[in-house]
Structure 1
Amino acid sequence: MFSQGQVIFGICFFIVFVIIMIFAYRKDLALHKIFYKGNYKVLLVFLLFILILFLIKIFMKR
């Protein structure tokens, strides 16, 4: 499906991308604490909404 060179490039690209994202996040960590307070609440509500949708789907099948 993929040549050996494509696989190696993909793995190297992924590793470098993750490293750069870690450095960028650490650099902006102080700003994140100021501007994104309470964003975990939005994430929890979103996950709860997805869970409710799955439960509705399961119960409506039966």
Structure 2
Amino acid sequence: MFSQGQLYFAGFFIVIFTIAMIYVYRKDLPLHKKYYKGSYWILLAFLTFIAMLFVVKILTKNIS
């Protein structure tokens, strides 16, 4: 399906991209703490909403 070179490139890209993203996030961490206070509550609310949608889907599937 993929050549050996393509697989090496994909693996190399994933490793380098992950390292770069960690480096950039660590560099911007003080700004994140300053400007995005309380953003975990928004994430928690979003994940709770998605979980509630799955619960409703499962409950309505069992009814019919």
State the TM-score, normalized to the length of structure 2.
0.94
Distance 2:42 2:19 in 1: 27
Q: SS at the partner of 2:57?
A: helix
User: Deviation above 4 Å: which 4+ runs of structure 1?
Assistant: none
* Cross-structure match for 2:45: 45
- CA RMSD for the aligned pairs? 0.4
- Please give the per-residue CA displacement for 1:30-58, whole angstroms capped at 9, x wherever unaligned: 00000000000000000000000000000
Structure 1 residue runs without a partner (length 5+):
none
Identity in percent = 56
Letter in 1 for 2:8: I
Letter in 1 for 2:10: G
Structure 2 residue runs without a partner (length 5+):
none
State the TM-score, normalized to the length of structure 1.
0.97
Pair 1:7 & 2:21 matched: no
How many corresponding residue pairs? 62
Q: State the 1:28 CA deviation.
A: 0.3
